[in-house]
Structure 1
Amino acid sequence: MSLVGRTVTVRVPATTANLGPGFDTLGMSLAVYDELQVTAREQPGATVQVIGVGEGEVPTDETNLVVRSIAHTFASVGQELPGLELLARNAIPHGRGMGSSGAAIVSGIMAAKGLLEGVVEFGAEQLLALATELEGHPDNVAPALFGGLTITWMTPEGPRFKKLIVHRGVSPLVAVPRERTMSTALARSLQPQSVPHEDAIFNVSRSALLIAALVQSPELLLAATEDKLHQSYRASAMPETDALIQMLRGEGLAAVVSGAGPSILVLGSDPAQRLRAAELIAEHAESVWECLMLAVDFRGATVVLHSDDAAA
């Protein structure tokens, strides 16, 4: 079956991972979206046009992460890759701890899923496995794929996930520094190979409490977002992020590093809390930060196959 002429449109949300104590385990999708249109063509290779974030910066050929993710997905199911034309409209900030690389990977996998509709069917666990192979960890790609709050874990058979619906009282804010970025690889290199036993126990208790706070009891978010596994070790690489988080937490607000940083996630228990957080950041920040008042995305990634007028 020829795929030439098929066009798909993909929409993928931003994500925030760790959420404080849930290192490499918890993630949540946020209502900021990268949108992608992909058309299969006869001419081999790939051309990419980027509008918005990353324009003039990311590769526009076969080395583009989205194209590599499409190719990886086709190869995983033994399908020949057609030529590709991509138009990417990006809104997720790059290098800020909002899951931009995970979104690019998920965009490619979902585009491949759409192009192969009626040829190959993909299950949820298969999609997660493909995304984890490319990203290295499932905590960002799971919420990008499935939406909501996700718990991920690894098994001998591959990554697994559980999606939960966040309490309607939870009001996220992401404060994004205009100038600073953070490499995930650098952030990971700052962490020790082992941690004290009491710190591990501390984080187990807070992670369990955080699920309860996000799903049922938002008033517990401040205590539930305490962490001793990763944030303090990375603080030296992003001192302003750390100083603002300590200030916000001192004011009773559940502030944590968003993903690998340097952005800050504030989990308000009501809208007034995140307004207060934005005011405090504007008052205390030494550089320019943009405060995004965001909803939790509950749907996750979507793909529409236009030529067959079918949606997934």
Structure 2
Amino acid sequence: MYRVKVPATTANLGPGFDILGMALDFYNIIEVREREEGLKIEIEGLGADELPTDENNLAYQAMDYLFSRTDYSPAGLEINLINQIPLSRGLGSSATVIVGGLVLANCLAGEPFSTDELLNFATKIEGHPDNVAPALLGGVVISVMTEDGEIIYKRLDVPKLSTVVGIPDFKLSTTEAREVLPAQVIFEDAVFNSSRVALLIASLMSKDYDLLATCFEDRLHQSYRQDLVPGMDSVIKYTKEAGALAVALSGAGPSIIALTLNQEESVGKTMVQTFARHGIEANYKITKPATEGVIIEELKDE
């Protein structure tokens, strides 16, 4: 039996829309073993009562995607998912399942595919690399999709900071969050974001975290999504005042991610209280950037 732990992720980091992502150190766990026939899927934890346990399950679909590109075809599979990452909250839950499924299938098939090939598979399934890349590789990952669909990436070491995630008690699908984005943006906004992305990369590489507040500014996606996340602007504003170095919408949202050195509790409580003032229940999770991506274990069957 093989088991993988796949980290949560936060995409965009403010201005890096569809380009930047960072792994966080809490995880979804997926296990797989071969069986004589048929498919058996069991799910524990978050979303257990709403996710499919048949061939529509995303982990199985990712495995099947890889198997279809090999000569290997298992007679049957038993898949166990232990979900610790909330669904549809902008924390990469679907990316963890895609990456975990691909990596497990690659193990069963004798590892015919490289890490780069797995990343390209995951991107084709997910549609964009900003979550699947850090889930697979860990750290902060810059991902570029070439014109022919291949992914070029550079992985950076994680910042020595704490992260606090404010998690509202409602879901927001990536599809819905993308539908509100404009087909075109004005030239000045493109320059604004390009400058922030460049400065953010320099800040992370030089560990000059005083720059982060400016680096996390964005004009390409957050303002268009604010009506989908009640109180978002206020949460960002007051979380900064509570001691966060930088604050942004996490991925497509609705969660909000903050980076801080030593104000974790104050930042988290401020997020929850500010959401509450806008009629939204929320909780917060204190975590850290994850150095490692997917972690693989081979276990002996009992």
Shorter-chain TM-score category? over 0.9
SS in 1 for 2:219: coil
Q: Which residue of 1 aligns with 2:16?
A: 22
State how far apart, in whole Å, the 2-side matches of 1:69 and 1:303 are: 16
* C-alpha contact 1:115 1:305 (8 A) present in aligned 2: no
Alignment partner, residue 284 of structure 1: 274
Report the CA distance between 1:37 and its aligned residue.
Answer: 1.1
Residues in 1 aligned to 2:273 and 2:80: alpha-carbon distance in whole angstroms: 39
1:255 CA displacement: 1.1
| 1:17-51 Cα distance to aligned partner (Å, 9 max, x none) | 0010000000000011111110111213x211101
In 2, Cα distance between the equivalents of 1:33 and 1:235? Answer: 28
Question: Of 251, 256, 260, which aligns to 2:248?
Answer: 256
Q: In the alignment, which residue of structure 2 is the partner of 1:13?
A: 7
TM-score (norm 1): 0.90
Q: State the partner residue of 1:54.
A: 47
TM-score w.r.t. length of structure 2: 0.93
Change beyond 3 A, Cα 1:167–1:238: closer
Q: Which residue of 1 aligns with 2:114?
A: 123
**CA separation in 1, counterparts of 2:31 and 2:250?**
28
User: How is 1:224-303 mapped onto 2 (pairs within 5 angstroms)?
Assistant: 224-249=215-240, 253=244, 254-268=246-260, 270-272=261-263, 274-286=264-276, 287-303=280-296
Structure 1 counterpart of 2:182, from 177, 192, 200: 192
Q: SS at 2:131's partner residue?
A: helix
CA distance in 1, matches of 2:56, 2:271: 38
1:191-248 Cα offsets, whole Å, 9 max, x none, are: 0011010000000000111112233211111010000000001111112233312333
Q: Which amino acid letter does the alignment assign opposite residue 109 of structure 2?
A: L
Q: Which residues of structure 1 form unaligned runs of 5+?
A: 1-6
Per-residue deviation, residues 59-107 of structure 1 (Å, max 9, x unmatched): 0111100000000011122422431101111101101000001111011
**What's the counterpart of residue 4 of structure 1?**
none
Is 2:90 the counterpart of 1:97? Answer: yes
Displacement of 1:282 in angstroms is 3.8
Cα pair distance change 1:302/1:282, threshold 3 Å: closer
Q: Return the offset for 1:251.
A: 5.6
Counterparts of 1:125 and 1:206, CA distance in 2? 28
Cα displacement (A) at 1:250: 5.5
Is residue 150–residue 161 contact of structure 1 (8 Å, CA) maintained in 2?
Answer: yes
Cα distance in structure 2, aligned partners of 1:181 and 1:144:
21
Name the structure 2 match of 1:33. 27
Identity %: 40
**RMSD value over aligned CA atoms?**
1.6
Q: Distance in 2 between matches of 1:185 and 1:240?
A: 21
* Cα offsets for 1:100-158 (capped at 9, x unmatched): 011110110011012122xx432121010110011000000000000000000012361
On the 8 A contact 1:28/1:150 being kept in 2, the answer is yes
Shift of the 244–102 alpha-carbon distance from structure 1 to 2, 3 Å rule, reads same
Secondary structure of 1:285 counterpart: helix
| Corresponding pairs, count | 295
